[in-house]
Structure 1
């Protein structure tokens, strides 16, 4: 399992519009092969700051499957105009502690 983590900074006064658009976009990402789950968290201390966590079966499910799909273009059209600056996407794998 791969965890995609993205810190999102939303342009001022667009938080409600972003959250509405994200609700629409959620069904897009959830329909993709290799998708497991996602969560969106709103920062308490910083207005306009969100944390997006997406779980994928593999890194390629996100970086190749989703990003090279027609669905990604829909996702992009719904959400990318809200970001300032454009976010950095990072991927993580769980550390075995035993």
Structure 2
């Protein structure tokens, strides 16, 4: 399992609009991403220390499910059109994998 971590900085004074758009759009966006091969789950968290900072967490089966399967799809273009106008700068996206501590 791979965890995609996207740090989202929202343009000044657009937090409420972003959150509403995310909730509204995510109904559609969720339908988009949930259909993608390797998709497991997603969630959005708001930073307590920085008002315009959010983190999007998406679990994928493997790295290529996100980087190739989703990012290179027509569905990604639709996803992007729903929310990307709120971001400044463009989100930093990284991928993580679990470490077996047992």
TM range (shorter): over 0.9
Once the two structures are TM-superposed, the CA of residue 12 in structure 1 deviates from its matched residue by 1.2
Q: Which residue of 2 aligns with 1:50?
A: 54
In 2, Cα distance between equivalents of 1:85 and 1:63: 20
Cα RMSD, aligned residues only: 1.1
Q: Which residue of 2 aligns with 1:22?
A: 22
1:87 aligns to 2:84 (yes or no): no
Q: Which residue of 2 aligns with 1:41?
A: 45
Give the secondary structure class of the aligned counterpart of 2:5.
strand
Give the TM-score, by structure 1 length.
0.92
Give the TM-score, by structure 2 length.
0.89
Unaligned runs of 5+ in 1: none
After alignment, is 22-31 or 42-51 more displaced?
Answer: 22-31
